[in-house]
Amino acid sequence: MSLTPPVSSIDHLWGNKNALIELVEYGDFQCPYCGRAYPIIKRLKVEMNDSVKFIFRNFPISKIHPQAKAAAIAAEAAALQNKFWEMHDLIFEHQKRLTHEAIVEYAHMAGLDLNRFNEDIQHENLLRKVEGDFMSGLRSGVNATPTFFINGSRYEGSWEGNYLSEYLLNISQNAQRI
Amino acid sequence: MLQTGNKAPDFTLYATPYEEISLYDFQGKRVVLVFYPADWSPVCGDQLMLYNEITDVFDKMNTQVIGISVDSKWCHASYREQRNLGFPLLADFEPKGSIARMYGVYNEQEGECERALFVLDEKSIIQWSFLSEPDKNPGVEGILNALEKLEPVS
């Protein structure tokens, strides 16, 4: 199963854009499994440093996670102020409380201009971006959250514990040997 | 397993504790028949939840999703309510698995339906089918691709 469409400039990219390893997550801000994956990915980003770039795409499953879409839109609004990752982290760190009031608090903590934030979250193009991510996930074979893609192919193994970081370290070491 | 090009055989099963529906009631619409092993098991949950999330996409494609397992109508009622499922779940309960057998997707050893998908056109002709491994969620991209290959919705 391959990533459709591939990563482009509309995606949120963390790290070295020329990195050998491209790790894409389809995630839902209200999903407890994504919440569990969050510190694992965060640690992995530190461990792998320059050899990995990380991309987050939205896959909010609204019928079971009614606040997930609004949280995704909030992160997109933060991106307009170049603070996507700050907001992404704050939301995952507080994912048990995602009311509108709470989201505005996190926006404040992220250092966003709140007037602009409150205006931006109303914009339909942010909703469309989130829905576009969701549709691309359906096309790419995402069937649960989180789903990861490594260099364009769906990762079928476990992401818990050290499995994912060991898998990526292996790829990076093999590539360096060549 | 029934193959593409065959007419899907009609059947009538309980959709709620008090109401039966027949496959051919849906003629004029496309139908995705989703055979799955059991309510409440984690993989089915993810699979059905995914279809449930995109009912508006299926609506635009004039398509009805129907789930079928050997669970009873009361079990289905409880499961649908708990998962907030918007499409019917049919109880292939008595005689157990008879519809799954008719479609060639009954697992005798487990006494459950296989995890199988059929996409039917407006005249109940099978246009695509897929047999998944029991513990693998087949996702939705195969279904969407099959629906898009059909004549456009007028």
CB–CB contact B49 A61 (8 Å) = yes
From first to last of the 178 residues of chain A, give the pLDDT tens digit.
Answer: 789 999 999 999 999 999 999 999 999 999 999 999 999 999 999 998 889 999 999 999 998 899 999 999 999 999 999 999 999 999 999 999 999 999 999 999 999 999 999 999 999 999 999 999 999 999 999 988 999 999 999 999 999 999 999 999 999 888 777 6
- In terms of Cα–Cα distance, which of A176, A178, A177, A165 is closest to A20? A176
- Provide the 8-state DSSP code for B93: B
Question: Is B132 touching A (CB cutoff 8 A)?
Answer: no
Vertex A47 angle, CA A45 and A49, to 5°: 60
- Torsion angle of alpha carbons B97, A63, A40, A159, nearest 10°? 20
- Interface A:B, Cβ pairs < 8 A: 36
Residues of chain B with C-beta less than 8 angstroms from the C-beta of A64: 49, 83-84
CB–CB contact B139 A143 (8 Å) = yes
Closest partner residue to B144 (CB to CB) among A64, A138, A144 is: A138
Report the gap between the CA of B141 and the closest CA in chain A (Å).
Answer: 5
Strand pairing category for A52-58 and A12-15: antiparallel
